[in-house]
Structure 1
Amino acid sequence: MSAIMDTAANANRQAALVQGETVDTSAEAPTETDGVAVRRLARTGSRRSTMPPWLMQIVAPVLGLAFLVLLWQIIAMSNSQFPTPLLTLQEALKLFADPFYRTSPNDQGIGWNILASLQRVGVGFGLAALVGIPLGFMIGRFKFLSSMFGPIISLLKPVSPLAWLPIGLLVFKSANPAAIWSIFICSIWPMIINTAVGVQRVPQDYMNVARVLNLSEWKIISKILFPSVLPYMLTGVRLAIGTAWLVIVAAEMLTGGVGIGFWVWDEWNNLNVPHIIIAIVVIGVVGLLLEQLLVALAKAFTYEQVAS
């Protein structure tokens, strides 16, 4: 009987194929071969997941760097003006053998240039934190201030930070304060927005308890708002420091003086491509270290609720 039904099903399938119709085989029962294939795939998947997590964290980044170096070598082989990874490494060893030499105001080691850029970032970023974080608290706390400053933030936040550089040069009449001004104006928006959002997302029950206890505004900010808003605030700080480090490199290219951005531009004028690549790597490493430092700070000050 089953043989007759199989023969009839095959005949119907062939007829449908002849007529150009689509045959739905999803309802067919899986055969023994299908089961073997499924078990084989399951064994393969389990075999792929046997690598220890710590080994995966080492192998994956190493393979990524190796791929980048290989791509770099291929580009260097196709373009004779592009330095190879080995040549760049040799130049880096010479460069970092004495990173703090100083022969003239415009001829200094890469170490001094990095420190000069970090100093500008520290001043501009610090001023942005002193202004942006309290302003974010007030905007998130009071609806009137939120309605007042909301349109201003929406209007000015999309403006490119380098567009503020001519304003800084016009006001301060000097390149160094103008670069700090550009860092300040680009760093303040993430701090204001994230802090204000954190304040607005504080549970209303907390505020009701504060109202019942008749707490002062300072007690509400220090005991309720600040612990709840801290993760949001630190997220804004992380975003701001990354943006500030990006802006200072571009600002120093335009203003000149001492700094990693000016150093890159000066090496380009000298057609020293290996030094430019070294500077790119240094900029990336410094930016990564700044971000990781703030991530560690966020983990140190962020608490988790413990289930009772």
Structure 2
Amino acid sequence: MVAAVFHSPRPTTLEPPASIALDTSPPVVKPEPPVGTPRKPPYDWRELAGKVLPPVLGMALLIGIWALLTMRSTTFPTPAATFVEAVKVFSDPFYSNGPNDQGIGWNILFSLERVAIGFGLAALVGIPMGFAIGRFEVLNRALSPLISLLRPVSPLAWLPIGLLVFKAANPAAIWTIFICSIWPMIINTAVGVQRVPADYLNVARVLNLSEWKVVTKILFPAVLPYMLTGVRLSVGTAWLVIVAAEMLTGGVGIGFWVWDEWNNLNVPHILIAILVIGVVGLLLELLLVNIAKRFSFDES
């Protein structure tokens, strides 16, 4: 009889080779590389050159032509001589040797004061009148011919009326600024009111809004860009008018300063005054253009 001998299997374990070492440390997670911040695009110097170079070249061309025309002139000053006089004038712009002998700085400030008063009065009258003319057809038909008749009148024609009524030079100059700068504000404001979409006014009628709310909540926001355009044109007109008015009325102001230098045959000072008048007018224009951009919107 064959005896079967059963042997229980021996447990087998896998031993790692001696050359392989077990790594029991926790896995190391490699940090992801930080996302780089986007680099700023390089400054476009060509765009800056395109904005700066044309005005500089234009000014250089003007000075060059001026220098060529005055090389052999004994009456008209050269650019170099005018620059020397400008340095003297602006070295002490606020001196005062009496009411009729003051620096160019004081003259500019007095002119700006008259412009501010005359323009402010024109805005107080012209803007509400423009709203009324644009809002009511009867007023539009009644006043439009009158505005068309008076608007082209020269400021020098209004000045004698001011002298006759006010009996003084300063109020007459302010009156001239007022009457000449009021028309752009009236016209542009009225046009803006007339171009307000009819749907806005129909909604106001449906909601039964009062006239005050129609003006303040609907008309004013819609008309503001037009109104600011009229204001910008009026300021330019006021600055032009004050120079001519001060030449005739005398006293203190940039216009009187020009006329006084002409009486003294000081042509370099006249050229300096022309440059100053242009720079001040340009600064006023840029200021109002920037203000208008803040309140403008795209109707599309």
TM-score range, shorter chain: 0.7 to 0.9
1:77 corresponds in structure 2 to 71
Q: Deviations over 1:83-142 (max 9, x none)?
A: 111111111111111100001111100000000000000000000000000000000000
* RMSD of Structure 2 on Structure 1 (CA): 1.3
1:90 corresponds in structure 2 to 84
- In structure 2, how many angstroms separate the alpha carbons of the residues matched to 1:292 and 1:133? 21
Q: Does 1:210 align with 2:167?
A: no
Q: Does 1:268 align with 2:267?
A: no
**Secondary structure of 1:102's aligned partner:** coil
**Rg larger in 1 or in 2?**
2
**Secondary structure of 2:97's aligned partner:** strand
Return the match for 2:137 from 139, 143, 148.
143
Return the match for 1:124 from 111, 118, 129.
118
Return the match for 1:242 from 236, 246, 249.
236
Shift of 1:267: 0.3
Shift of 1:53: 2.5
Q: Does 1:257 align with 2:251?
A: yes
Moved more, 77-86 or 132-141: 77-86
- In structure 2, how many angstroms separate the alpha carbons of the residues matched to 1:148 and 1:51? 56
1:27 corresponds in structure 2 to none
Return the match for 2:282 from 282, 288, 294.
288
Shift of 1:290: 0.5
- In structure 2, how many angstroms separate the alpha carbons of the residues matched to 1:161 and 1:103? 31
- In structure 2, how many angstroms separate the alpha carbons of the residues matched to 1:161 and 1:206? 39
Q: TM-score, normalised by structure 2?
A: 0.84
Number of residue pairs matched by the alignment: 257
Q: Which has the higher helix share?
A: 1
- In structure 2, how many angstroms separate the alpha carbons of the residues matched to 1:179 and 1:68? 33
Q: Deviations over 1:192-212 (max 9, x none)?
A: 000000000001111111111
Q: TM-score, normalised by structure 1?
A: 0.81
- In structure 2, how many angstroms separate the alpha carbons of the residues matched to 1:75 and 1:51? 35
**Secondary structure of 1:193's aligned partner:** helix
Q: Deviations over 1:124-166 (max 9, x none)?
A: 0000000000000000000011111111111111111110000
- In structure 1, how many angstroms separate the alpha carbons of the residues matched to 2:65 and 2:81? 15
- In structure 1, how many angstroms separate the alpha carbons of the residues matched to 2:265 and 2:155? 28
Shift of 1:80: 1.8
- In structure 2, how many angstroms separate the alpha carbons of the residues matched to 1:228 and 1:55? 38
- In structure 1, how many angstroms separate the alpha carbons of the residues matched to 2:288 and 2:226? 13
Unaligned runs of 5+ in 2: 1-43
